[in-house]
Amino acid sequence: MSTQPKDENTPENVEPMAQAAEAGTAAPAGENGENEAGVTEADVLQRLNEENEMLKERALRLAAEMENLRKRTQRDVAEARSFGIANFARDMLTVSDNLQRALEAVPAEAREKAEPGLKALIEGVEMTERAMLSALERHGVKRLDPKGEKFDPHYHQAMFEVENAEVPANTVVQVVQTGYVIGERVLRPAMVGVAKGGSKAEAAPSRAPEGERTPQEDSTAEAGPRDAAS
């Protein structure tokens, strides 16, 4: 009985040959897991960990920048809402001043003896002024009435000095023109007369509008005479 030579490409020989080929192409590993390039698995893991930490740090930095941008945008929007009407409010204060001057031009005696039509006109002007100031106050505009308070260059503008030994120096003794603020910003400083020649005791501190913070009052003692002299 004759036997045929066994084909090397028979199915039972293909799989062992493929495995041998793959084994031959793979880089042989050393005792410490090194390949031909000398890179170990520990080196690869360390490199991956370093890249992971770098990406994590970059992501945290970008998140912090986005948070700062969000806060900055919110602050800009809030300031725009609070101070966007500043120029308009400043112009309206001029109108309010003119209404006040019109009322002051009518003597008290003339008001009492005035005809009903004139009395109604005066009352209408008063109501208009109050309504205007009330509308401005609803939008954050507040009035400054610093008489009796310590001179504060943040809110006041000294127009003259008054010899008055009964009150401490740098006390506001007269208000020539009322001041106004919007939020923490001064729309118009109060024009005032400041006492001099009195005791050096501190006057009552200037009060910021209710709900607002008071600026620092450093060097205010010298500010009054300087402004008055100028």
- For the question of whether the overall pTM of this predicted structure is more than 0.75, the answer is no
Q: How far apart are CA 91 and CA 57, in angstroms?
A: 52
Across residues 7-13, what is the average pLDDT? 51
Highest mean pLDDT among 175-184, 193-202, 211-220: 175-184
- Split at pLDDT 50, 70, 90, the class of 115 is confident
Cβ of 150: how many Cβ atoms within 10 Å?
Answer: 22
* pLDDT score at 191: 92
* pLDDT score at 23: 47
The answer to whether 187 and 181 are in contact (CB under 8 A) is: yes
* H helix or E strand, kind and range, residue 192: strand 190-196
- Split at pLDDT 50, 70, 90, the class of 69 is very high
In order of 8, 19, 22, 44, 67, the CA distances from 25 in angstroms are: 21, 10, 5, 21, 52
Across residues 98-127, what is the average pLDDT? 86
Which amino acid, one-letter code, is at 143?
R
If you search the block for the tokens 């310590």, which residue do you land on? 150
- Residue 181 bridge partners (DSSP): 142, 186
Lowest-pLDDT choice from 2-6, 75-79, 94-98, 178-182: 2-6
Q: Which of residues 5 and 169 earns the better pLDDT score?
A: 169
* pLDDT score at 145: 85
What φ, ψ does residue 153 adopt, rounded to 5°?
-65, -15
pLDDT of 2 above 60:
no
